[in-house]
């Protein structure tokens, strides 16, 4: 043993020097993983490091929780069925400010930190934008030192992982917990019972008042699993609390005693199924019992938990609405309106008026979609079967609400029908969005255009009633994960130029503007982009075998596959360029790599066909010798947060090409621009504000705007008109139609081509010409590298508004009435 004097001895659990970390890692390897270094697998080392990081987070966590309880500050609770967290290790190291120390510490054991990053299985507990937004908001809440709890579901299987076989998407279950999960802390003592099915009864309470009681047919237990959510270098750590369903008794002993062993276990399995799997649709599907059970489950656990916390701080629930600001992330947690009423009325014996006041004061609602088909509604029959007491409460809310409406708008039966919480137009449904609107004190959209459109269309009747309830809060993304962590080279360059205050005050990036023309800075900027493109090219080669040239333009479209997002418009552009080169091989065009990524809902056939089309076009284009490699098409399989972090930094061009009026906001658009990509896009969602911020001269705009889309549709839009008029468009569609990309099979893509030729719901044909022409300009400007670089720098420099810190500040000021400490 060596006996060297150490200057000040750091605690092995909290110390942050490379030496202490190295020792702590060894300790955890030994005492948690039960391994010697000689025997340890990369996963063992990853786990040992992760536990080392977790120890340091817990230290801050305990302090934060004490502060919440003792200072009685108002707590924000974000209710969301999805949190798309992405890998935790890198982000947590950055938040603690010990990334470099950790690198050195593992190096002392002969290990490369990057290798350990690769071990991590990301918690993919979300579908796309909505779930990732929730994760960005948790990051900002902690970074702004706002006490907050995220409440959600601990799915055993997150979003499926995607494989491509013969060009088609194949789904595989995401066994993210398989290798253990070092980040979560299971808290069996924080558990609540949740009922479903059964019947309701009335009785008289001690004061002689009539009361209701729900006698559930089934009960399940929700157990808390906590994740630390650290703020950026500020010693604040908030909580993400995810609920796991557990059977209350392991066995039904009665069944067991009469010998029905399997029957007894079945009930246990059924209860635990509630949190088995995330529904892989980015838009809701009607009629899935289990999904309603999931929503009820996590909403009830979360509200019971808030009530427990509240009663530790105060004697009564009278001021519940002052101690929690509860945000409903879309309609998935909208049952909270009925459940909070139920808890207050039935369990805590409030009268209706008091309970209603408390409920409305506490709840606020964010809408995330304009697609009318995506508005969640539940068939009345099975709602009644699953949640009989909630339905009674919803009827009562509706009764009182419609009474008010009738008073204001006598004889307007149409309006009343539209506002009703129950859809009675055909088969009956419970309308979750209406429930959320009535039960909340605030309703917001997620980008300026989207908020205008919900006022004018989706929720017009509610807006007429309560204009003061409506707000806009434009989405944002966290600069910590999406610049600092995922683009370290650009971050270093920026910080060298303007200091590192931008990490928590993104508007500081403005100071880069004055270097936009500086040739040295431009050169360095380009070099970083080039290296990022090389890194992505290496990943593409490894995952797909396709070799791409990082010198060409990287033109990227990554997001869920959906017709309204129009990945197939991008394909029509690629086919057009291909066709031009086939006819004129000598044509001088800018070499481009087109990169796609994104998952299709497993039951969404058209979206899956679009993936097949992309891969079929790739096969032809990538192998055609006439092109001499000038065009390459890549479908990057299994787009997730980890891949996203490598993709955004490598983009030259960001594709944001949805039909105007359909994309609520988009957040990928912000992540691209923040990393210096230029956008080609329609006036949709947050594109409108991005263009305003970066300046129209630094944004490639195309396509019909919302009013024009509406006009076209009102006039009886006919895609044939555009098809006949435009020779290149005809050629592109004909190549698909005649089986050129499907080995002569004319049927394969027929559903897709027919949709475009005879309906074209999302106006691809109407926007095609302006899109292709704008792309010409992109080609042109890309050749002028100083000009392109200048535009790229200005894009990044003007992204300050799109930090999720700004969004969270706005929520705090206008909706939650909570003070951000930082």
Is 559 a residue of the active site? yes
- Count the site residues for ligand NBG by CB under 6 A: 16
Q: Is the Cβ of residue 487 or residue 665 nearer to ligand NBG in the bound state?
A: 665
Span of 123-131, 172-180, 355-363, 604-612 interacting with ligand NBG by CB under 6 A: 123-131
Q: Is the Cβ of residue 20 or residue 667 nearer to ligand NBG in the bound state?
A: 667
Cα–chain-centroid distance for residue 419?
Answer: 29
Q: Is the Cβ of residue 60 or residue 282 nearer to ligand NBG in the bound state?
A: 282
Task: Say if residue 488 is exposed, middle or buried (CB neighbours under 10 Å; 0-12, 13-18, 19+).
Answer: middle
Measured from the Cβ of residue 724, the count of other Cβ atoms closer than 10 Å reads 11
Residues 527-546 interacting with ligand NBG (rule: CB under 6 A) = none
Q: Is the Cβ of residue 494 or residue 556 nearer to ligand NBG in the bound state?
A: 556
Span of 72-80, 125-133, 313-321, 465-473 interacting with ligand NBG by CB under 6 A: 125-133
Minimal distance, residue 669 CB to ligand NBG, in Å: 9
Q: How far apart are the first and last CA of the chain?
A: 47
Q: Is the Cβ of residue 142 or residue 664 nearer to ligand NBG in the bound state?
A: 664
Collapsing DSSP to helix, strand or coil, 255 comes out as: helix
Helix ranges restricted to H, 72-128: 89-96, 99-108, 113-119
Given 106, 133, 267, 614, the residue binding ligand NBG (CB under 6 A): 133
Minimal distance, residue 690 CB to ligand NBG, in Å: 12
Check 56, 291, 565, 691 and give the catalytic one. 565
Closest CA to 588 of 530, 641, 628: 628
Q: Is the Cβ of residue 241 or residue 332 nearer to ligand NBG in the bound state?
A: 332
Give the DSSP H or E segment for 552.
none
- Is residue 689 near ligand NBG by the rule CB under 6 A? no
- Is residue 126 near ligand NBG by the rule CB under 6 A? no
Closest CA to 764 of 624, 619, 562: 562
Closest CA to 338 of 272, 431, 426, 403: 431
Minimal distance, residue 79 CB to ligand NBG, in Å: 15
- Is residue 446 near ligand NBG by the rule CB under 6 A? yes
Residue of this chain nearest to ligand NBG (CB atom): 129
Check 121, 368, 390, 691 and give the catalytic one. 368
Minimal distance, residue 368 CB to ligand NBG, in Å: 4
Beta-strand runs (E) in 309-356: 324-329
Check 237, 366, 593, 667 and give the catalytic one. 667
Distance CA 333, CA 327 (A): 9
Q: What Å distances lie between residue 197 and 220, 409, 415, 619, CA to CA? A: 11, 37, 33, 53
Minimal distance, residue 807 CB to ligand NBG, in Å: 10
Distance CA 333, CA 433 (A): 10
Minimal distance, residue 642 CB to ligand NBG, in Å: 20
- Is residue 666 near ligand NBG by the rule CB under 6 A? yes
Distance CA 91, CA 123 (A): 13
Closest CA to 630 of 678, 574, 672: 574
Q: Is the Cβ of residue 533 or residue 562 nearer to ligand NBG in the bound state?
A: 562
Q: Is the Cβ of residue 328 or residue 397 nearer to ligand NBG in the bound state?
A: 328
Given 664, 794, 812, 815, the residue binding ligand NBG (CB under 6 A): 664
Q: Is the Cβ of residue 341 or residue 433 nearer to ligand NBG in the bound state?
A: 433
Span of 543-551, 574-582, 649-657, 660-668 interacting with ligand NBG by CB under 6 A: 660-668
Closest CA to 568 of 530, 537, 621, 612: 612
Cα–chain-centroid distance for residue 422?
Answer: 29
- Is residue 328 near ligand NBG by the rule CB under 6 A? no
Span of 122-130, 142-150, 237-245, 773-781 interacting with ligand NBG by CB under 6 A: 122-130
Distance CA 455, CA 463 (A): 6
User: Which residues have C-beta within 8 Å of that of residue 691, sequence separation ≥ 6?
Assistant: 679, 681, 683, 699, 701
- Is residue 667 near ligand NBG by the rule CB under 6 A? yes
Q: What Å distances lie between residue 673 and 478, 802, 818, CA to CA? A: 13, 10, 30
Tokens at 15, concatenated: 């110390």
Closest CA to 377 of 336, 425, 432: 432
Minimal distance, residue 129 CB to ligand NBG, in Å: 3
278 secondary structure, DSSP code: -
Minimal distance, residue 559 CB to ligand NBG, in Å: 9
- Is residue 329 near ligand NBG by the rule CB under 6 A? no
Q: What is the DSSP string of 584-645?
A: -TT-----EEEEEE----TT-HHHHHHHHHHHHHHHHHHH-GGGTTSEEEEE-SS--HHHHH
Distance CA 519, CA 106 (A): 39
Is 667 a residue of the active site? yes
Minimal distance, residue 564 CB to ligand NBG, in Å: 9
Q: Is the Cβ of residue 300 or residue 807 nearer to ligand NBG in the bound state?
A: 807
Q: What is the DSSP string of 452-468?
A: HHIIIIITHHHHHH-GG
- Is residue 130 near ligand NBG by the rule CB under 6 A? yes
Given 156, 226, 330, 693, the residue binding ligand NBG (CB under 6 A): 330
User: H/E/C letters for each residue in 718-742?
Assistant: CHHHHHHHCHHHHHHHHHHHCCCCC
Measured from the Cβ of residue 396, the count of other Cβ atoms closer than 10 Å reads 16
Is 560 a residue of the active site? yes
HSE (CB half, 13 Å, CA atoms) of 653?
A: 27
Check 121, 559, 592, 809 and give the catalytic one. 559
The residue behind tokens 């569609």 is 733
Given 52, 169, 475, 803, the residue binding ligand NBG (CB under 6 A): 475
Contact pattern for ligand NBG over residues 209 through 228, marking x by CB under 6 A: --------------------
Closest CA to 90 of 54, 51, 117, 115: 117
Span of 127-135, 421-429, 493-501, 517-525 interacting with ligand NBG by CB under 6 A: 127-135
Q: Is the Cβ of residue 120 or residue 376 nearer to ligand NBG in the bound state?
A: 376
Given 87, 388, 685, 800, the residue binding ligand NBG (CB under 6 A): 685
Q: Is the Cβ of residue 140 or residue 475 nearer to ligand NBG in the bound state?
A: 475
- Is residue 663 near ligand NBG by the rule CB under 6 A? yes
Residues 363-392 interacting with ligand NBG (rule: CB under 6 A) = 368-369
Minimal distance, residue 164 CB to ligand NBG, in Å: 23
CB 24 within 8 A of CB 55: yes
Minimal distance, residue 126 CB to ligand NBG, in Å: 9
CB 741 within 8 A of CB 731: no
Q: Is the Cβ of residue 138 or residue 664 nearer to ligand NBG in the bound state?
A: 664
Given 139, 282, 563, 755, the residue binding ligand NBG (CB under 6 A): 282
Distance CA 496, CA 94 (A): 18
- Is residue 129 near ligand NBG by the rule CB under 6 A? yes
Check 342, 599, 671, 737 and give the catalytic one. 671
Contact pattern for ligand NBG over residues 548 through 587, marking x by CB under 6 A: ----------------------------------------
HSE (CB half, 13 Å, CA atoms) of 386?
A: 20
- Is residue 509 near ligand NBG by the rule CB under 6 A? no
Query: CA 211, 437, 442: angle at the middle one, nearest 5?
Result: 110
Q: From the CA atom positions of the chain, what is the Rg in Å?
A: 28
Minimal distance, residue 663 CB to ligand NBG, in Å: 5
HSE (CB half, 13 Å, CA atoms) of 187?
A: 17
| Interacting residues with ligand NBG (CB under 6 A) | 128-130, 133, 282, 330, 368-369, 446, 475, 663-667, 685
Q: Which residues are catalytic?
A: 368, 559-560, 565, 667, 671
């Amino acid at each position: 043993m060596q006996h060297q004097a150490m200057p000040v001895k750091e605690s092995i659990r909290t110390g942050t020097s490379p030496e202490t970390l190295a020792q702590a890692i060894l300790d955890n390897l030994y005492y948690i993983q039960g391994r010697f270094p000689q025997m340890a697998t990369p996963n063992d080392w990853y786990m040992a490091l992760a536990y080392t990081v977790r120890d340091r987070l817990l230290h801050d966590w305990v302090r934060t929780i004490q502060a919440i309880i003792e200072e009685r500050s108002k707590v924000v609770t974000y209710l969301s069925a999805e949190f798309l967290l992405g890998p935790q290790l890198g982000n947590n190291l950055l938040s603690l400010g010990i990334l470099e120390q950790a690198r050195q510490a593992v190096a002392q054991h002969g290990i490369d930190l990057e290798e350990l990053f690769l071990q991590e299985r990301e918690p993919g507990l979300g579908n796309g934008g909505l779930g990732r937004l929730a994760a960005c908001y948790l990051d900002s809440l902690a970074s702004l030192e706002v006490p907050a709890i995220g409440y959600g579901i601990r799915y055993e299987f997150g979003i499926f992982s995607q494989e491509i076989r013969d060009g088609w998407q194949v789904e595989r279950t995401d066994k993210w917990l398989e290798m253990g999960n070092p980040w979560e802390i299971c808290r069996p003592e924080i558990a609540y019972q949740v009922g479903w099915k059964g019947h309701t009864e009335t009785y008289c309470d001690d004061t002689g008042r009539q009361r209701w009681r729900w006698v559930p047919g089934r009960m399940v237990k929700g157990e808390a699993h906590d994740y630390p959510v650290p703020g950026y270098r500020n010693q604040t750590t908030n909580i993400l609390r995810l609920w796991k369903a557990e059977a209350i008794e392991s066995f039904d002993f009665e069944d067991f005693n009469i010998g029905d062993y399997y029957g007894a276990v079945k009930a246990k399995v059924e209860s635990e199924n509630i949190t088995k799997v995330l529904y892989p649709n980015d838009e809701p599907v009607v009629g899935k019992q289990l999904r309603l059970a999931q929503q009820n489950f996590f909403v009830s656990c979360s509200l019971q938990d808030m009530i427990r916390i509240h009663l530790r701080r105060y004697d009564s629930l009278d001021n519940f609405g002052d101690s929690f600001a509860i945000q409903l992330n879309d309609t998935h947690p909208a049952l909270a309106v009925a459940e909070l009423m139920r808890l207050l009325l039935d369990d805590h014996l409030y009268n209706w008026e008091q309970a209603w006041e408390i409920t409305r004061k506490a709840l606020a609602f964010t809408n995330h979609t304009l697609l009318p088909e995506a508005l969640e509604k539940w068939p009345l029959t099975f709602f009644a079967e699953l949640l009989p007491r909630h339905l009674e409460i919803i009827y009562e809310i509706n009764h009182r609400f419609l009474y008010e409406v009738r008073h204001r708008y006598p004889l307007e039966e149409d309006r009343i029908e539209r506002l009703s919480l129950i859809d009675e137009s055909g088969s009956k449904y419970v309308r979750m969005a209406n429930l959320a609107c009535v039960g909340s004190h605030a309703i917001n959209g997620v980008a300026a255009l989207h908020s205008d459109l919900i006022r004018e269309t989706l929720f017009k009747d509610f807006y007429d009633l309560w204009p003061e309830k409506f707000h806009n809060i434009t989405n944002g993304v966290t600069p910590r994960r999406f610049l600092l962590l995922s683009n370290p080279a650009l971050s270093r360059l920026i910080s060298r130029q303007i200091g590192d205050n931008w990490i928590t005050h993104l508007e500081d990036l403005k100071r880069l503007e004055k270097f936009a023309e500086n040739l040295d800075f431009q050169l360095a900027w380009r070099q970083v982009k080039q290296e990022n493109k090389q890194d992505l090219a290496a990943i593409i080669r490894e995952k797909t075998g396709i070799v791409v040239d990082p010198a060409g333009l990287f033109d990227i479209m990554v997001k869920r596959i959906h017709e309204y997002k129009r990945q197939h418009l991008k394909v029509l552009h690629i086919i057009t360029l291909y066709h031009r080169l086939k006819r004129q091989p000598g044509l001088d065009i800018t070499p481009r790599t087109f990169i796609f990524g994104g998952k299709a809902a497993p039951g969404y056939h058209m979206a899956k066909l679009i993936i097949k089309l992309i891969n079929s076009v790739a096969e032809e284009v990538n192998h055609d010798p006439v092109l001499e490699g000038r065009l390459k098409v890549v479908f990057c399989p299994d787009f997730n947060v980890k891949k996203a972090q490598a993709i955004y930094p490598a983009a030259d061009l960001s594709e944001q090409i949805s039909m105007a009026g359909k994309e609520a906001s988009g957040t990928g658009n912000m992540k691209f621009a923040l990393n210096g990509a230029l956008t080609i896009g329609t006036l949709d969602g947050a594109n409108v504000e991005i263009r305003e911020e970066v300046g129209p001269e630094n944004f490639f705009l195309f396509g019909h705007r919302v009013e024009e889309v509406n006009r076209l549709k009102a006039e009886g839009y006919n895609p044939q008109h555009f098809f006949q008029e435009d020779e290149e468009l005809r050629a592109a569609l004909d190549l698909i139609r005649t089986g050129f990309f499907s080995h002569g099979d004319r049927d394969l893509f027929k559903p897709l081509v027919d949709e475009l030729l005879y309906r074209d719901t999302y106006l691809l044909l109407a926007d095609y010409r302006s899109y292709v022409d704008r792309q010409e300009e992109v080609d042109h400007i890309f050749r002028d590298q100083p000009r392109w670089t200048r535009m790229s720098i200005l894009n990044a420099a003007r992204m300050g508004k799109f930090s999720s810190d700004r969004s969270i500040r706005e929520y705090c000021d206008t909706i939650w009435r909570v003070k951000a400490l930082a």
